[in-house]
A and B are shown apart, each in its own frame.
Chain A
Amino acid sequence: MSTLHTVNKSPFATNALASCLNHAKDGDTILLIEDGVYGAATGTTLADTVTAKVGALSICVLSGDISARGIDQKRLIKGVTSVDYTGFVKLAASHDRSQAWL
């Protein structure tokens, strides 16, 4: 039983990502979308917190949202994977539920 969590807010503007990281269970997936993708970049004040969860959680970003914001793939935290819209649908289908952190 696993959950797909989506986070669409900038981690610097709200605590949605922080709270999601605190509540997600091992084996869950967090998909960062829209302004949420800023949470997947290296060198930020949050990068260590996110990095520590990679492995126990699967962390993904939506590729279109990364490109729109000019975030180079090379700047993504190691272990974070990029998915397109089809990948988003597959993730939704392969988890038992999805939970949006608004």
Chain B
Amino acid sequence: MSYEVNGATIEHDEEGYITTLSDWTKDLADVIAKAEEVDMNSEHWEVVNFLRDYYEEYQIAPAVRVLIKAVKKSMGPEKGNNKYMYELFPYGPAKQACKIAGLPKPTGCV
């Protein structure tokens, strides 16, 4: 199972999370987003970049409620709420955005 991006083949698991985190590029993010039927705009990117920074700092993909709380703290309540985040990522802001960000499945998502 793999994504094709710029002639390269990037392996992913059965749920679509890439297996080698260092394989991630912005072009790959666009390919994963397309597979997820997410049309990436600057608001999506803001969340994806936030998640990558969070992972870089804590070595963990946060659970959804942790993500929303952290977004609220960093970008304010108009973005750090369920409605805004689920509109951007209808199949789950943590799961879907982590996948696009090239991170593992969030810890604490059962």
A and B touch in the complex (CB under 8 A): no
Q: Interface on B for A, CB 8 Å cutoff?
A: none
